[in-house]
């Protein structure tokens, strides 16, 4: 099964990002494929590490490590990042993209899951 995952919640506001991360790990353990993880709305904050307390850093799932191990495409929505004052360059392990990349991932996937409202 191929999954496209959208993460809409920031890492410090709820358990949503951690739940998405755990789902992805479980899916990969069952030999499913993750086509793309698209970070939208406050989900773009999952790419931030600087300026956070040690406690907040611990709450952010290690997305780049997971992506490196499994070849997962981590995409930050450029519009959502810019609206939140983030630079228009991808953080380590992430790339900047738009809704076109998300739609492409959805078309390639068997299932689309959205974590967060």
Number of Cβ within a 10 Å radius of residue 19: 15
- The 3-state DSSP composition of the chain as helix, strand, coil percent (nearest 5) reads 45, 20, 35
Q: Which of 65-69, 76-80, 85-89 has the lowest mean pLDDT?
A: 85-89
Q: Which of 4-13, 23-32, 36-45 has the lowest mean pLDDT?
A: 4-13
Bridge partner list, 30? none
- Residue-wise pLDDT for 13-34, tens only, equals 779 999 999 999 999 999 999 9
SS3 27: helix
* Residue 77 among the catalytic residues: yes
Pick the catalytic residue from 12, 36, 77, 106.
77
pTM as predicted: 0.92
C-alpha to C-alpha distance for 51 and 68, rounded to whole angstroms:
24
- Residue-wise pLDDT for 56-66, tens only, equals 566 678 999 99
């Amino acid at each position: 099964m191929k999954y496209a995952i959208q993460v809409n919640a920031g890492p410090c506001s709820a358990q949503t990002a951690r739940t998405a991360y755990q789902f992805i790990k479980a899916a990969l353990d069952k030999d499913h494929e993750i086509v793309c993880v698209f970070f939208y709305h406050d989900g773009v904050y999952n790419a931030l590490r600087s300026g956070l307390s040690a406690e907040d850093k611990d709450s952010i799932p290690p997305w780049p490590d997971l992506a490196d191990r499994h070849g997962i495409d981590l995409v930050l929505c450029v519009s959502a990042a810019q609206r939140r004052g983030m630079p228009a360059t991808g953080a380590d392990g992430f790339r900047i993209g738009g809704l076109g990349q998300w739609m492409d991932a959805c078309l390639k996937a068997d299932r689309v899951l959205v974590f967060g409202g």
